[in-house]
Structure 1
Amino acid sequence: MAAVARPVWAGNLSFGLVSLPVGLYTATDSHTIHFHQLQRGTSDRIRNRRVNERTGDEVELDNIVKGYDTGDEYVLVEPKELDEIAPGRSRSLEITGFVDLAEVDPIFFDKTYYLGPRGKEYGKVYSLLEQALAKADKAGIATFVMRQHEYLVALKAENGLLTLHTLHWADEIRDPKQEIDTLPGKAKASDKELTMAEQLIGAMSITWDPGEFHDTFQEKVAALIDAKKAGETVEKAEPAADPTGVVDLMEALRASVERASSPKATGGKATASGKASASSKASAKKRIRSTPKEDLSGLSKADLYKKAAAANLPGRSQMSRDDLVKALSSSASRP
């Protein structure tokens, strides 16, 4: 049985005179491959330590306090002092008001958490708020303190549960006009260029399915590790495309529209003739039929996922190990 997740924060969610004990749960995981730091030419790990820069001695965590540099001196602050001044003693999540979701610019959204009731007896209040938010298509705006930081958050109803999205404070959003000195403003484009750009957007329009996308870089990192372990080499990535110049813009747009509008079966590339295309499909079918059925039962989930990615199986990121085996077996058996 899988271990039950523990909340990263627990407190009371209140709106009006209604109070609901809730727990906050991490909503996302990172699949980034992590490396240890080693000294070159050895297998010796490099460790980060808390060291007194004057004496060079290592300092225990209990002997470390926070210091704010005022220029002339450090103002020392103990961790418990930060807890003592926290609004609501770090256990209150009070909704200030409700706003239309469309009013919150996407740039304000930061991290997502799941919100769950702390006990089945609070299920009715939880469900009531979730249904009311979903029907009104609004988000509750609140602030709360977690780990000695105050957060501005948006409470939303999503797929039958409540989610909490931390938001950036207004003064944390940078002004792009001050950050980027090369912004063109409303650069003049010809009617033909604008029409062609709109056609390209239309030709490349797709239905949003997050399961269709996966982290190809992490897959290549895993392949690199496997290759180096086996003493093999891997193919280097292609260099980045050259920037499109103003003179070549119209031609680049036209070629892009033609490629995006071509049949998906050809992978976006025109074939020399319909007969050649049919012939290649027929030979491909023969090769698939003649390939012995692979035994997938002994493969790990990571290896199965690599095969699913190579086969471009939809929804693979949400599949269990057994689901991956079934999907791959079904894909291999199709002509």
Structure 2
Amino acid sequence: MRSIWTGAIGFGLVNIPVKLYSATQGSELDLDMLDKKDLSNIRFKRVNENTGKEVAWENIVRGYKLNDRYVVLTDEDFKKASPEKTKVIAIEEFVKETEIDGIYYETPYYLEPEKSGGRAYVLLRDALHKTGMVGFGSFVMRNKEGLCLIKPMEDILVLNRIRWGQEIRSTEEIKVPDSAPKPAEMKMAMELIKQLSGPFDIAKYRDTYSDELLALIKAKARGKAPKAPLRVVHKAKSEDLLSQLKASLGGKKKAG
């Protein structure tokens, strides 16, 4: 893996030099855009709006429009805006992970210690394990400041980027009926939840759509007509909610 950010974790007077790695990768197939006529690859160019000519990367700058004119910013300008934040993951406080709702989670990253920060890294990891707490703070990456939490996962520390509170939309426009469920319906729903409950194991789940799409691609490459997989759609025999719940409980328990 290739690190995408280098800096340090800072909490109190402790400073831990670290590298940041992306913890995820897409499971979808990498499809190219092609010209329908001859299947040539489609390329996108960075074009000057006025001249229509292509602009090389080294000639592209970033700017902010202020009072109908652009103010150009350099990499140094971004660092000068808050130099202490550009290279430090500042832990502001330690909290219980259960206090942070899942809607705030954005992107996970792996943290690896530099040689000089090995002991402090292990100390923080083990202290978080023992206390059951996570570090909450902020950092800047790619000229964007974000909130984050740091938590132990087995032998390593993981950083999760966290959304700002103002990024979460209000729920006021979401319409939900205010009718209360009937006691019998609630009892059946709780029984169904209990029947489908079990230890969580992410390995049981797989992006099967990509697998099936790849099988279709391979079949077309061999000149065979791909067959659509049989989809079994279970429809309720009754529109009555209680009847649907009873029928669900009578079925087999979900695999796994």
Q: How many aligned positions are there?
A: 255
C-alpha deviation, 1:244, in angstroms:
6.7
Cross-structure match for 1:322 = none
Alpha-carbon deviations, 1:112-134, whole Å to 9, x = none?
11111101x43221111111111
RMSD over aligned Cα atoms: 2.5
Cross-structure match for 1:174 = 169
Give the secondary structure class of the aligned counterpart of 2:18: strand
Letter aligned with residue 186 of structure 2: L
Which of 65, 69, 78 is equivalent to 2:61? 65
For residues 14 and 6 of structure 1, the distance between their equivalents in structure 2, rounded to whole angstroms, comes to: 23
Superposed, 1:214-229 pairs within 5 Å as: 214-229=206-221
Q: Which runs of 5+ in 1 are unaligned?
A: 265-313, 315-335
For residues 86 and 42 of structure 1, the distance between their equivalents in structure 2, rounded to whole angstroms, comes to: 51
More strand by share: 2
C-alpha deviation, 1:256, in angstroms:
1.1
Corresponding position: 1:82 with 2:78: yes
Tell me, yes or no, if the aligned pair for 2:238 and 2:244 is still in contact at 8 Å: no
Q: Which runs of 5+ in 2 are unaligned?
A: none
Tell me, yes or no, if the aligned pair for 1:86 and 1:148 is still in contact at 8 Å: no
Cross-structure match for 1:208 = 200
- Cα distance change of structure 1 residues 23 and 177 upon mapping to structure 2, 3 Å threshold: same
Superposed, 1:17-96 pairs within 5 Å as: 17-69=13-65, 73-80=68-75, 81-88=77-84, 90-96=86-92
Q: Which has the larger radius of gyration?
A: 1
For residues 236 and 54 of structure 2, the distance between their equivalents in structure 1, rounded to whole angstroms, comes to: 54
After TM superposition, the structure 1 stretch with the greater mean CA deviation from structure 2, 93-102 or 79-88, is: 79-88
Corresponding position: 1:144 with 2:139: yes
Letter aligned with residue 156 of structure 1: K
Superposed, 1:262-273 pairs within 5 Å as: none
Give the secondary structure class of the aligned counterpart of 1:130: helix
- Cα distance change of structure 1 residues 89 and 168 upon mapping to structure 2, 3 Å threshold: closer
Superposed, 1:87-166 pairs within 5 Å as: 87-88=83-84, 90-119=86-115, 121-166=116-161
Tell me, yes or no, if the aligned pair for 1:177 and 1:183 is still in contact at 8 Å: no
After the TM superposition, which parts of structure 1 deviate over 3 Å for at least 4 consecutive aligned residues?
Answer: 67-70, 237-247
Using the aligned pairs only, state the percent identity.
Answer: 33
C-alpha deviation, 1:88, in angstroms:
1.2
Alpha-carbon deviations, 1:155-176, whole Å to 9, x = none?
1122122111100011001122
- Cα distance change of structure 1 residues 96 and 45 upon mapping to structure 2, 3 Å threshold: same
Superposed, 1:250-269 pairs within 5 Å as: 250-261=242-253
For residues 119 and 90 of structure 2, the distance between their equivalents in structure 1, rounded to whole angstroms, comes to: 19
Higher normalized contact order (CA 8 Å, seq sep 6+, divided by chain length): 2
More helix by share: 1
For residues 141 and 59 of structure 2, the distance between their equivalents in structure 1, rounded to whole angstroms, comes to: 23
Give the secondary structure class of the aligned counterpart of 1:176: coil
Tell me, yes or no, if the aligned pair for 1:26 and 1:113 is still in contact at 8 Å: yes
